[in-house]
Amino acid sequence: MKFFISLVFLSLTLVANEGLIKKAYEANMKPIPKSNKELKKLIDDPKNPITKDKVELGKILYFDPRLSKSNLISCNTCHNLGIGGTDGLAAAIGDNWQANPMHLNSPTVYNSALAYMQFYDGRSPHLADQAKGPMTTSFEMAIAPSELEQKIQKIKGYKKLFEKAYGKNTKITFDLIAQTIAIFEKTLITPSRFDDFMHGDTKALSQNEQKGLETFLAKGCANCHRNEALGGLMRYFDTRGKYTFRTVGGFEGNDNKLVKVPTLRNISRTAPYFHNGMVWNLKEAVFEMAKVQLSISMSDKEASEIVDFLHSLDGEIKSINYPMLPR
């Protein structure tokens, strides 16, 4: 009898789980594809496809501070792979210790390849285009494309690495440097227990986390935090309620007042939150969203449930061998 009850309970739980998975799919939440082939459909560029040699070269470029005018700032300075792909600062600091003039926060590079657009105002369609921004912006890496090309072309080790990745006599251009960095960044995808759950492993999320996902869906969070990126698309910001720190930095989105939705993947690792990095606590960020985007009241219990779920988005970060930079 006891066994029978257990069996019924287990079946009901499984049904409940599967119902939750279905609901999440219906709300357009999507897992990172399991197969490399499917993942590549999302992130690879047939014009310059991912290869092992390009990834290795892209990693070296990513860590090389010589890509900045000062020789001191690398991509990894602000998108530090050891700190969730961010810098842990409210507003980014760049060349000559200049803070971002709009008090913009460095977004995580992890899973950025899954986003539909890049930058908070969505002005860039993909990472190969995006990477050019920080390199050349005066308050970030501050280097002119021609200066960068000359510098990299002069380093013999780079000549070899570009030829290995792209063939003999490859011309090292600003475009190709940016594309190659993007190719490395495309490998920074971090599947999490949420993805296992969505692929049918109903035990991948704890009961608390499943409860959190239920609440997340019920409140409408997936209206913005959807697709594989659980974000990465454009939405109106704070039109339903006033963001507490609206005035800090003066950023108001693109011409249509649209703002890119940050990914929720690894969110527990990427504080502080929001475009101007003014909120350090994850639960506080959830409350802020309830007010600003959903115009709903949220109980402390509900916010905690959502935070529980968000922790299930902590992804698996592949180990990275620190590169020795060519001379």
Kindly tell me which residue out of 31, 43, 87, 227 binds a copy of itself, with binding defined by CB under 8 A. Answer: 87
Joined tokens for residue 205: 């999320």
Task: Give me the torsion for CA of 38, 39, 42, 48, rounded to 10°.
Answer: -110
Q: Which of 18, 56, 140, 284 is catalytic?
A: 140
Q: Restricting to residues 38-67, name those near a copy of itself by CB under 8 A.
A: 63-66
Neighbours of 36 (CB within 10 A): 10
88 sits near a copy of itself (criterion: CB under 8 A)? yes
Please give the Cα distance from 66 to 198 (Å, whole number): 42
CB of 80 to a copy of itself, least distance (A): 7
Instruction: Specify the residue, 168 or 327, whose C-beta has the smaller distance to a copy of itself.
Output: 327
Dihedral angle sign, alpha carbons of residues 136, 138, 144, 148: negative
70 sits near a copy of itself (criterion: CB under 8 A)? yes
1 sits near a copy of itself (criterion: CB under 8 A)? no
Kindly tell me which residue out of 72, 144, 218, 296 binds a copy of itself, with binding defined by CB under 8 A. Answer: 72
Q: Which residue has the tokens 């308050």?
A: 139
Q: What x/- string results for residues 92 through 121 when contact with a copy of itself is judged by CB under 8 A? A: -x--xx------------------------
* Contact criterion met (CB below 8 Å) for 302 and 308: no
Q: What x/- string results for residues 307 through 326 when contact with a copy of itself is judged by CB under 8 A? A: ----------x-xxxxxxx-
- 56 catalytically annotated: no
273 sits near a copy of itself (criterion: CB under 8 A)? no
- The 3-state DSSP class for residue 319 equals coil
Please give the Cα distance from 15 to 13 (Å, whole number): 5
Catalytic residues: 140
